[in-house]
Amino acid sequence: MSRLIVAFDPEEEPLEYWIRLGGELCGEVWGVKVGLPFLLRYGLGSLAELREACGRSVIADLKLADIGPVMLSSVSALRGLVEAVIAHAFVGYAGAIEGLRKGLEEMGVKLVLVASMSHKGSEEVIDPSLERVLEVIRRAEPWGIVAPATRPSVIAEIRRRGFPQKILSPGVGAQGAPPGSALRAGADYEIVGRYITRSRDPAATARAINLEHERLLGSLGGAR
């Protein structure tokens, strides 16, 4: 099973470009992550096309940060189109994540919460509050947690605290973290965007990352 989630963040390409790429990468990835750049350009109908091209998990990276009913209203538009939705945890549990969690459960969609981000600015506000953010995550019991490959110590800290969730880690490739480094720190999946999608041969690049993952996980001796 691949530990790779490819991020589709379009610039000016037509949708057909991404649908074709989805088909090419399908055998190499666990899932495809799309965010606002994709959804605003191509609309919700594009998700059905993406799923048709590749039956892997589609993750809607909406980075929701609102009151519960409004977040739920956003995600209910995605019913039947995605396997998972990403929201921020810093908004807190009561009146926010609590409602989102219940609604997603009813929809059969996985919740993924952001613990910390990969860019430098995450150290300004989010990371000093990591303790509290993780407390929200503990209460919410999401399926997955986003933690940065660019600061593997954060991934290791979440693992050390015994969170059983899947850890999804962005920041590999274009943002500087080497492929495999997040898995080594304790992540379950590495989210990779431009390093794959902007490479000359995206499928070959994804294959090379998978090989690195297999080598690494093999060396960890089946501990993961």
CB 68 within 8 A of CB 99: yes
The residue within the footprint of ligand BMP, chosen from 7, 19, 58, 154 (CB under 6 A), is 7
175 forms part of the interface with ligand BMP (CB under 6 A): yes
Using the contact rule CB under 6 A, the part of the chain among 64-72, 90-98, 168-176, 177-185 near ligand BMP is 168-176
188 forms part of the interface with ligand BMP (CB under 6 A): no
Nearest to 100 by CA among 130, 76, 133, 83: 76
**Closer CB to ligand BMP, 109 or 115, in the complex:** 115
CB 182 within 8 A of CB 205: no
Coil, helix or strand at residue 168: strand
The residue within the footprint of ligand BMP, chosen from 4, 53, 146, 177 (CB under 6 A), is 146
117 forms part of the interface with ligand BMP (CB under 6 A): yes
**Closer CB to ligand BMP, 32 or 72, in the complex:** 32
CA distance 198 to 127: 30
Number of H helices and number of E strands within the chain?
10, 8
Shortest distance (Å) from residue 40 CB to ligand BMP: 13
31 forms part of the interface with ligand BMP (CB under 6 A): no
CB 61 within 8 A of CB 86: yes
Strand ranges (E), 115-188: 144-146, 166-170
148 forms part of the interface with ligand BMP (CB under 6 A): yes
191 forms part of the interface with ligand BMP (CB under 6 A): yes
Catalytic (active site) residue 110: no
CB 50 within 8 A of CB 32: yes
Backbone angles phi, psi at 113, to 5 degrees: -115, 140
Catalytic residue set: 63
Q: Applying CB under 6 A, which residues contact ligand BMP?
A: 7, 9, 33, 35, 61, 117-118, 146, 148, 170-171, 173-175, 191-195
